[in-house]
DNA sequence: CATTTATATAAACGTATATTTATATGATAT
DNA sequence: ATATCATATAAATATACGTTTATATAAATG
């Protein structure tokens, strides 16, 4: 697979409203599937499907914690890249940096709750 | 339209192999439709369609020059953003910055050939 | 071991969109 | 004005993929 095809797959992965919503919810700390379902109000199989796509395309990673499976952003640089697009293409008239940032960032203190 | 939807539309616009190819070809200087057809080897209506999508979604802009219509990158920052993803997700083992950059950049000396 | 909770998978369905084929518009030159 | 070149548009087709419905796996608990 050439690099252009890989790039296309990444954009395709991000080109879904629900998946972006999931990423935005996950972006500051890892979340269990149940939390994602509750917050996004999407059906369980649909969330599961989107999470799989996001994982298969290198956006998310998982870790099991008892019966729960937590999803988290694989590489935090991805958030910077998404933020860049978010700031470039926000359609609101008020272009203040704080408001329309896609994700303010990962909370590193939430990253070490190993079981 | 909320910002998340706008972001989704931008990624959707970039989530096509042929469109990415067109952007990469256009990225260093404006190009006429004919040049794009010749280089990408895509059919004329297909190129026209993709150019329209790219323009409608704020990636490209046009300018007429006689019988020709030239397309160019509307905001060069878009290239930086694409480059960021390109470097994050290149699948080649050799991860040298030079090779897998999506676009080395706009050649500003090619930007002022007004008619 | 059986039941419940948490998550994943499979099949079926509908829709959006990339591509093709055919035609139209718009500018230039003879 | 007409023929030609450059580009756009419209309709038709095909396919990819998001969503739903139904079922399966996997872990925990009594």
Residue A53: exposure state from Cβ atoms within 10 A (0-12, 13-18, ≥19): middle
Q: In whole angstroms, give the CA distance from residue A68 to residue B30.
A: 52
In a domain, A40, yes or no: yes
**Of A109-113, B77-81, B107-111, where does the model show the most confidence?**
B77-81
User: Of the candidates A86, A105, A106, which has an alpha carbon nearest to the alpha carbon of residue A96?
Assistant: A86
For the stretch B21-64, pLDDT in tens is: 999 999 999 999 999 999 999 999 999 999 999 999 999 999 99
Task: Flag if B3 and A100 touch (Cβ within 8 Å).
Answer: yes
Q: Decide: A106 and A28 in contact? Cβ < 8 Å.
A: yes
Q: Decide: A35 and A64 in contact? Cβ < 8 Å.
A: no
In a domain, A69, yes or no: yes
Number of domains in chain B: 1
Best mutation target among A1, A6, A9, A11 (most B Cβ atoms within 10 Å) is A11
In a domain, A77, yes or no: yes
The CATH number of whichever domain residue B77 belongs to comes to 1.10.10.10
The distance (Å) linking the CA of B31 with the C1' of D25 is 55
Q: In whole angstroms, give the CA distance from residue A88 to residue B99.
A: 26
Q: What integer pLDDT is reported at residue A105 of this predicted model?
A: 75
Integer angstrom CA distances of residue B85 from A19, A34, B66, B88: 17, 29, 37, 5
For the stretch A75-108, pLDDT in tens is: 999 999 999 999 999 876 555 555 568 888 777 6
In a domain, B113, yes or no: no
Structural domain including B43 reads 3-87
Identify the segments of chain A with pLDDT beneath 70. Answer: 92-100, 108-115
In a domain, B105, yes or no: no
User: Of the candidates A14, A1, A105, A3, which has an alpha carbon nearest to the alpha carbon of residue A57?
Assistant: A14
In a domain, B39, yes or no: yes
Band (B1; pLDDT cuts 50, 70, 90): confident
Q: Decide: A100 and A86 in contact? Cβ < 8 Å.
A: yes
ipTM for the predicted complex comes to 0.90
Determine the nucleotide nearest to B62 by Cα–C1' distance: D7
Q: What integer pLDDT is reported at residue A56 of this predicted model?
A: 97
Task: Flag if A89 and B12 touch (Cβ within 8 Å).
Answer: no
Determine the nucleotide nearest to A66 by Cα–C1' distance: D27
pLDDT beyond 90 at B105: no
What percent of chain B shows pLDDT beyond 70? Answer: 85
Q: What integer pLDDT is reported at residue A51 of this predicted model?
A: 98
In a domain, B115, yes or no: no
What residue spans of B1-115 are helical by DSSP H? 3-14, 17-26, 33-40, 44-56, 77-89
In a domain, A95, yes or no: no
pLDDT beyond 60 at B94: no
């Amino acid at each position: 697979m050439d690099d252009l095809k890989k790039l296309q797959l990444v954009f395709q992965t991000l080109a879904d409203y629900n998946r972006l919503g999931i990423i935005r919810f996950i972006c500051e700390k890892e979340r269990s599937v149940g939390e994602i379902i509750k917050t996004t109000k999407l059906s369980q199989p649909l969330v599961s499907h989107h999470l799989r796509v996001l994982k298969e395309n290198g956006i998310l990673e998982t870790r099991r914690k008892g019966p729960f499976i937590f999803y988290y952003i694989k590489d935090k640089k991805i958030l910077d890249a998404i933020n860049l697009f978010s700031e470039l293409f926000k359609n609101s008239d008020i272009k203040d940096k704080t408001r329309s940032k896609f994700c303010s960032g990962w909370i590193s203190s939430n990253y070490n709750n190993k079981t």
